Structure 1
Amino acid sequence: MNLDVRRNQITKDIYGYRTVIANIVLVGGCGAEGRDWVLIDAGVPFSGSYIKHFTEQVLGSGKKPIAIVLTHAHFDHVGGLSYLLNEWQIPVYIHEQEQEHVTGIKDYPPPHPFIEKGLMAFLSPLYPRKAINIHSYIRLLSTDGSISEMPGWKWIHTPGHTEGHISLFREKDHVVIAGDALITVKQESALAVVTQKKEIHAPPAYFTQDWDQSFDSIKKIQNLDPSLIYTGHGKPMEGIELKKGMDLLIRRFERDMVGNEKYVH
């Protein structure tokens, strides 16, 4: 499998890759000398070998990232971890409120398949939610917002979709890697997922745990004044399209979700 990696390039040193329904991100400019790379999230189950191949297309054969950072630990963001860690033996950073889901202690709660209509939402009771166990690789994110392997980046706590969900922010160019704090495709709809129709949405409704927190997290991201956002589902969005989309999402959230009983769990 040969990839035209230029089609996956988001910025000079950021590459994105879609694993069926969820994105992973490869971030350069990392490490003490700025010559290394970090992987953000690890895709759907059985995607590990494809992710490894993608990273080697970008980095060169036999090369690997120096760390993995997880925005959260849902099945479509940790599916390739077992394979990748067996190959790479590198640390995995995660928020302390997510660690029980990656150390075999706590499963995620059941989904809510009928909050938003769509085939992907309807099928959500079939999606894996059992805790995985990679405890020997886990490192908790520093409380000061820094990640030692990613100079220039800060992690931002953006709960709601999950308790320990994080996003990543680079001050110099206001790029945000948002995970599922918000997304740029209607993930509940199979048609939208297949076509990748670009449109800002709240996080996947069927797995979102706290809508008030989610709303606060979206406003937190908006207050960062992002120039470009790459999310866990969908395509990158930037510029005026992003600004208008964020404004529309906030208005839609206020109208449809806040105070609506069906979003209270």
Structure 2
Amino acid sequence: MDKELSYGDDYKFIPATSIGSGVGVSVLPDLYCHTIQIVNICLVGNPESKEFVLIDAGMPGSSDEIISVTEERFGAGSRPKAIILTHGHFDHVGAIIELVNHWQIPVFAHEYELPYLTDKQSYPEPDPTVEGGMVAKMSPLFPNEPINLGANVEKLPPDGSVPYLPGFRWIHTPGHTPGHVSFFRENDRALIAGDAFINVKQDSLYKVITQEQGINGPPRYFTTDWQAAWASVKKLEALKPSVAVTGHGLPISGDQLTTGLKKLVNEFDRIAIPDHGKYIDGNLH
């Protein structure tokens, strides 16, 4: 492994899984979503063209699975042009160093995420006190220290374009993390939302395991700015997406997406924001 590339000392395999693990869904001809344990990665690009990118990098220890899913879709020896991150939490960068070393490709993220990806700063500690179950209680076990991608990570272009993804633009959707981004394509209104909102109640272990659907706010135990998170959901709802791939849960489209997002925007304080927790601002209620 390249000397300058390193995970935090707390990096480890997390034994969490769901019935969706290992399952891939072709959402659109050029948008493929694959579940690694409890989190989604996306391959964006037409299999015929060989020009594609990987959005997010799965759970710790999942590089072999990601490489084999990629080669299955795009052919033996194929590699993405880049890895583009919605944000830098451990379950979205879990295999990134192995992938960067294997493919020798750049990584792009919002400039506000760079401190967490270049060994400068840890994310705030997860909050195990947020109500809603076992996953929140397990969250202190989750890796939280910064990783170091060194010069391999670059900031997304300030003009909103997405490298190697013509037609998509990145949208700053902070709240879950300071530099969280989502990706939107105007011509078919396809949205890759990351954890700005998700399609499973992530703090419920039962719902994570069964992948029971339901549009929800970002995972509670890692979200530190709920006002920003609410504003981000409003921003995405205003785009009227036709289909959305979220960081957790199944892809969602049509009326289910439209009504679910509208309800989340209107009732965010009730649906998404925990009743208590160390990151809850008293002014929210």
Query: 1:107 corresponds to which residue?
Result: 122
Amino acid at match of 2:134: L
Residue 28 of structure 2 corresponds to residue 11 of structure 1 = yes
Partner of 1:174: 189
Which one is further off, 245-254 or 67-76? 245-254
Is 1:70 the counterpart of 2:85 in the alignment? yes
Displacement of 1:34 after TM fit? 6.0
Letter in 2 for 1:20: Q
- The 1:6/1:83 distance shift into structure 2, 3 A limit, reads closer
2:240 maps to: 225
String of CA shifts for 1:10-61, please: whole Å, max 9, x gaps: 111111111101110000059xx96400000000100111101100010011
In the TM superposition, residue 148 of structure 1 has moved relative to its aligned partner by 3.0
**2:6 corresponds to:** none
> Which residue number corresponds to residue 90 of structure 1?
105
Number of aligned pairs?
A: 259
Is 2:200 the partner of 1:164? no
Name the counterpart of 1:50.
65
In structure 2, how many angstroms separate the alpha carbons of the residues matched to 1:34 and 1:150? 13
Q: Structure 1 residue 7: deviation in Å?
A: 4.9
How has the CA–CA distance of structure 1 residues 192 and 59 changed in structure 2, closer, same or farther, with 3 Å as cutoff? Answer: same
Higher helix share: 1
Q: Which runs of 5+ in 2 are unaligned?
A: 1-21
Deviation at 1:107?
A: 0.7
Q: Which runs of 5+ in 1 are unaligned?
A: none
1:21 is aligned, of 20, 38, 49, to 38
After TM superposition, give the deviation of residue 70 of structure 1 in Å.
0.3
| Deviation by residue 1:191-232 (Cα, 9 ceiling, x = unmatched) | 111111111000000000100000000000001110001000
* CA–CA separation in structure 1 for the residues paired with 2:274 and 2:28: 38
1:200 maps to amino acid: I
Q: How does the TM-score come out when normalised to structure 1?
A: 0.93
Q: CA RMSD in A?
A: 2.0
Structure 1 residues 89 and 74, CA gap change in structure 2 (3 angstroms) = same
1:259: how far off? Answer: 11
The aligned residue for residue 152 of structure 1 is 167
Provide TM-score, normalisation by structure 2. Answer: 0.86
Letter in 1 for 2:208: V
Identity of aligned residues (%): 45
Report how far residue 189 of structure 1 moved. 1.0
**Which structure exhibits the higher relative contact order, with contacts defined as CA atoms closer than 8 Å and separated by 6 or more residues?**
2
The answer for the alignment partner of 1:244 in structure 2 is 259
SS in 1 for 2:132: coil
Aligned to 2:100, the other structure's residue is in SS state: helix
* In structure 1, distance between residues paired with 2:36 and 2:134: 19
Partner residue in 1 for 2:13: none
Is the CA contact (8 Å cut-off) linking 1:184 and 1:199 kept in structure 2? Answer: yes
| Whole-angstrom CA distance in 2 between matches of 1:148 and 1:113 | 36
Relative to structure 1, the CA distance from residue 158 to residue 105 in structure 2 (aligned partners, 3 Å threshold; closer, same or farther) is: same
